[in-house]
Structures are given as C-alpha cells and as structure tokens.
Chains A and B, each alone.
Chain A
Amino acid sequence: MGLPKNYRKYVNITPHKQGFEQRQSILDEIADKGTYLPKGILHEDMDSEMINYVNNDIDLSLAGEKVPVLFLSAQRWAEFSKTWQFTDIDKNIKLPFITIVRKPDAQQGTNYAGTFNIPGRPTFTYMKIPTWDGNRNGFDIYKIPQPVSVDIMYEVRLFCNRMRDLNFMNRKMLTSFSSLEKYVKVNGHPIPLIMDSIGDESVISNLDERKYYVQLFTIKMLGYLLDEDDFIVTPAINRAINFFEVSQDLYKATYQVKLDSNSESLYLKTIFNIGVNSINILIDVNATYINYNATNSNSILFKKNGSIVTIPFSVNIGDELYIKVNKTDVNQISEVIINGVTI
C-alpha cells in the first residue's frame, strides 16, 4: 500500500540552525576555544587541514588497512622521517599510499572573484568586549583587517597496483566533491576546496618496468590568510570626567584711563561685567579725582592703598586703587566713570 501524499517518513528531531542563527554559529565556531578574536590562518594551517581532510574525510582503507597519507616537502630527512614506518626491507615505501604535494607557488586568491578590494589594509571592528577594572565598566574594541585571499593548489596522488583500489579512491573523491566544492574548517573558518582536475600518471606503459597506478587529484583551496599579529585591541573611552572650578578671579573688570593733554583733565572708565563687582587698579598717572558717574549702582566704595577714600581724592603713580560697586541688578553690567585732573 502506498504511503499517503505528503507523508513524512523521517522527522528530523535534531534542531538545525538556519539563517542568522546559522551564520552566528559559524562565527562562534571561528572564535571557539580561544579569545574573542577569530583564530588566525596561515599557510601551515591550511596545509594541516588539507592533510586532515585526506586522512580523515577521505579516509581510504584498502584490504582492511588504512592507506598512509604523506605530506611531502623538499627536505630529504623529513621525507624519510614520515615514510620510514611504511617502508619495506629496502627502505622503500610500500604500495599503496597517498601523497599530498602543495605547489610552492601559492597564488593571489580568487575568492573575491578577482575584483578590486579595499586598499590600505584598514582594520575593522570585530567585537566590543565589556571590561571591568575594579572601579569602572568599559569596552575594549577588537579590530581585525580584512583577510588576504590566497589560492593554494594541492596534488593528491594515490599510488596502488589494483584498478579496484583506484575506483574506490576515485569514488570517494567524486562523492566528496559532488556539490562542486567541499568545505573544510581551517581553525574554525569554513574554506572551500574545488577539484581542479583528475589526472593519470600511472607507470604501466613500459613492459620491462615495475607497473603501478598513479591517480592524481588536483585540488584548489580558496583560502585566506589572517595573521593574528595584525589584530588590534584598543580600549574604548570608558568614562568622561569633567571638572568644574569656580573662582571669582576668572572674570575681571576692564578699565581704561583717558587723558586729555590740552585741558589736563582725565577720566577712569571701568566696566564691571556680570559676576564682577570689584577691581584693583595700579595707578600710573598722578591725578585728583573729583566726581564720578555710575550706572546700575547703588553705591561705590573706593580704597587707596587699602584705606577707604571718598571723592575727591588724589592718587600718585604706584598707588593701588580699589573700586567696589554695589550693583542694583547683579545680572547686568555696571559702568563707572571717575573724572579728575592731572597733578
């Protein structure tokens, strides 16, 4: 009997994040088990993940034995140190095995589709982290530059001497890349791999030579570089403290002495701004002051060298004249003009 239409045979009871939650989950994974900053990625991290991918994701076992995966570089002793445990009595490695060779010429990346990018390597705010120094709350701003994209080519070769072993590896690789690209996690960063080509380097054409199959998988990693030395952590402004100091000396009255040389008369004009009601003037002209006019004033007090004087009074060079005005309205300025004659 057929199942009713729209009948769900499998119900996924495992919560699966989607949309923003899924993107946030990826971001969380990038910083997982570390600082608030993302983990950096360098060439060796991508190489390491490539080994991990072939060794654990492809995970080829033939005849019940795991096929060794060897990442090879130029140094001979390093090659020997990686292969000695898989060698025969002649110290030659035994078939089957897988080699990974990274082409030394890592190219400028294409995961930005080869377009222009932001110049100048600026850093961007990645995260704001609350801080507490025991007294004050604050924030640290974590800034990182844009990653530098890089394309790395890997050559993965299977060496074996059976066609069915080739088929097995080929099937695993094609399955892994069935959706065109395969994502690996390099320090938590999702980075795509693309199968560039599959080649054949089998040594089977010469009859009087040892025969074996070599299948070559050329894989391109569309990676990026993120150097942790380029990360910047700066403290943000956590609190602004303003100090206000109040002093009567901050504002002073202005004065002007006007001398008429023909008539030998003079006047001393003083303006008391708002908040100012007294002034000390150092006398530099010998004179006798005989009257005064004042605005916004109830009364005026004169002191000469500390002693109270009244109009008329005389002053000499070097005397100190103190004038204090008692304003009618403290929110207005007061103007005092004292008239006199020179001595």
Chain B
Amino acid sequence: MRKVPIERLNKFFSQDDFELEIDFGREWLEGDINIKVILYRVDRVDTTNDDIYGEAGKNEIRFKPPIEIPVSFNYATPTNKSYNTDGSLRLLERGNITLGVYQDQLDELGIDINYGDYIAYPETETKIKYFTVSNDGKLFSDNTHTIGGYKGFYRSITCVPTDLDEFNGM
C-alpha cells in the first residue's frame, strides 16, 4: 500500500501529538465514562435472505460474535406519535442514538461498523434495546472529526430503533 506522509500542522502538531490526544480521549471515554454498547455485525454470508428482495425473515439474521465497544453516547428524546394517520394506535418511539467511536478503538478490535449492523444498548439490567446503523460515519475527515484538521480520529454513528420482528439479538 502506498503511503503519503502527513506534514500539515507539523510546526506545532505531529503524529505523536495526535496519538497522545487520542490516548487522553480514550482514557476519558473508556476509563472515566465507560459507556459501552454491543455491536452485532451482520454476517452477510450466512444470513438467509430471499433472492428477490434480499430480506431476512424473523430470526434469520446471522451475526458475528457480539463485541462491546466503548462509545460516547447520545440518546434522543422519544417521540409520541401514532401509526395511523387519524391519530390512532399510539406509539412512543425511541429517539435515535448517536455514537462517537474512536477509529483507533475499532482498529484495535479489528472490526468495522457497517450500515445495517445492529447495536444493542442495555438500558437496565433486564432491558436491552436494539438499533440498526443508519449512518456508519465512515467519512470522518471533516473539521469536526479531526484535531485541528490534522487527521480524523473518531466516527459519528447514527442508529435508529429496530423492530423485534427484524432483529431480536440473542
């Protein structure tokens, strides 16, 4: 693989500084905050799906071993809405979750988060909610996700609630 040296900001910022900043951040995220979610990566080979629509039936989604990943966690407010247009069949729908994940963390674990993977968030000891990744944040070289424009270091991942009919974890 061809490599290109990154020399921007080199008068006052280097790769060592970059890694140090990440270490500080991870120490805070993993050591202090310690919020973890469980990533269910869909096994796109073993999952049974139909030939036409590519949809999996109930309990037909196969996934690789679940992995806990520390994240910065943002949980949106639930929305009170209805299924029917006339206001009947009320639904208190959960808000989306937005995760901040260090790419360094994912690289260490040797995993990636893809569009359509599932995320489990244990709200209580007995209540686990499942979300599906609607934005895997694979593009993270923008100003927000870099340190001073040096290099991107974390991904913002958006997940939306999923139905138990679609995915029910283990």
Q: Do A and B bind each other?
A: yes
Query: Could you tell me the distance between the alpha carbons of A202 and B127 in the complex, rounded to whole angstroms?
Result: 29
Q: A63-B58, A163-B53 are in contact. Are A93 and B89 (CB under 8 A)?
A: yes
Residues of chain A from 203 to 218 with CB closer than 8 A to chain B in the complex: 207-212, 214
A208 close to B89 (CB less than 8 A): no
CB-nearest residue of chain A to B161: A210
Confirm or deny: A101 has a beta carbon within 8 angstroms of a beta carbon on chain B.
yes
Query: Could you tell me the distance between the alpha carbons of A99 and B83 in the complex, rounded to whole angstroms?
Result: 9
Specify the main secondary structure of chain A where it touches its partner.
loop
Nearest Cβ in chain A — how far from B58, in angstroms? Answer: 5
Query: Could you tell me the distance between the alpha carbons of A242 and B84 in the complex, rounded to whole angstroms?
Result: 72
Q: A94-B163, A161-B165, A210-B161 are in contact. Are A201 and B53 (CB under 8 A)?
A: no
Task: Please report the total number of B residues contacting A with Cβ < 8 Å.
Answer: 30
CB-nearest residue of chain A to B134: A208
Confirm or deny: A74 has a beta carbon within 8 angstroms of a beta carbon on chain B.
yes
CB-nearest residue of chain A to B115: A207
Query: Could you tell me the distance between the alpha carbons of A159 and B162 in the complex, rounded to whole angstroms?
Result: 14
A164: which of B53, B86, B166 is its contact (CB, 8 Å)?
B53
Contacts of A90 in B (CB 8 A): 92, 94, 129
Contacts of B93 in A (CB 8 A): 92, 210
CB-nearest residue of chain A to B85: A201
CB-nearest residue of chain B to A103: B86
Residues of chain A from 54 to 85 with CB closer than 8 A to chain B in the complex: 63, 70, 72-74, 76, 79, 83
Contacts of A260 in B (CB 8 A): none
Confirm or deny: B164 has a beta carbon within 8 angstroms of a beta carbon on chain A.
yes
Q: A90-B94, A162-B53, A210-B162 are in contact. Are A101 and B134 (CB under 8 A)?
A: no
Contacts of A83 in B (CB 8 A): 89
Confirm or deny: A229 has a beta carbon within 8 angstroms of a beta carbon on chain B.
no
A163 close to B55 (CB less than 8 A): yes
A208 close to B158 (CB less than 8 A): yes
Task: Please report the total number of A residues contacting B with Cβ < 8 Å.
Answer: 35
Interface readout for A229-261 with B: 1 if CB under 8 Å, 0 if not? 000000000000000000000000000000000
Nearest Cβ in chain A — how far from B49, in angstroms? Answer: 10
Contacts of A74 in B (CB 8 A): 88
Confirm or deny: B160 has a beta carbon within 8 angstroms of a beta carbon on chain A.
yes
Confirm or deny: A95 has a beta carbon within 8 angstroms of a beta carbon on chain B.
yes
A212 close to B163 (CB less than 8 A): yes
Specify the main secondary structure of chain B where it touches its partner.
loop
Residues of chain B from 121 to 167 with CB closer than 8 A to chain A in the complex: 127, 129, 134-135, 158, 160-166
B163 close to A101 (CB less than 8 A): no
Q: A63-B57, A89-B127, A163-B53 are in contact. Are A70 and B163 (CB under 8 A)?
A: no
Confirm or deny: A157 has a beta carbon within 8 angstroms of a beta carbon on chain B.
yes
CB-nearest residue of chain A to B160: A210
Contacts of B85 in A (CB 8 A): 201
Nearest Cβ in chain A — how far from B118, in angstroms? Answer: 13
Contacts of B83 in A (CB 8 A): 93, 99, 157, 159, 214
Confirm or deny: A340 has a beta carbon within 8 angstroms of a beta carbon on chain B.
no
A99 close to B53 (CB less than 8 A): no
B88 close to A72 (CB less than 8 A): yes
Confirm or deny: B91 has a beta carbon within 8 angstroms of a beta carbon on chain A.
yes
Q: Please report A residues at the B interface, Cβ cutoff 8 Å.
A: 63, 70, 72-74, 76, 79, 83, 88-96, 99, 101, 155, 157, 159-164, 201, 207-212, 214
**A-B residue pairs, 10 tightest by C-beta:** A72-B88, A163-B53, A63-B58, A95-B165, A95-B163, A162-B55, A210-B160, A210-B161, A208-B134, A92-B91
- Knowing that A76-B90, A91-B92, A157-B84 touch, tell me 16 more A-B residue pairs with CB under 8 angstroms: A88-B164, A89-B127, A90-B129, A93-B83, A94-B163, A95-B165, A95-B166, A155-B86, A161-B165, A163-B55, A164-B50, A164-B52, A208-B96, A209-B160, A210-B160, A210-B161
25 sample A-B contacts, Cβ–Cβ < 8 Å, listed by A number: A63-B58, A72-B88, A74-B88, A79-B88, A79-B90, A88-B164, A89-B127, A92-B91, A92-B93, A94-B165, A95-B165, A95-B166, A99-B84, A99-B88, A155-B84, A155-B86, A160-B165, A161-B166, A163-B53, A164-B52, A164-B53, A201-B85, A210-B93, A210-B163, A214-B83
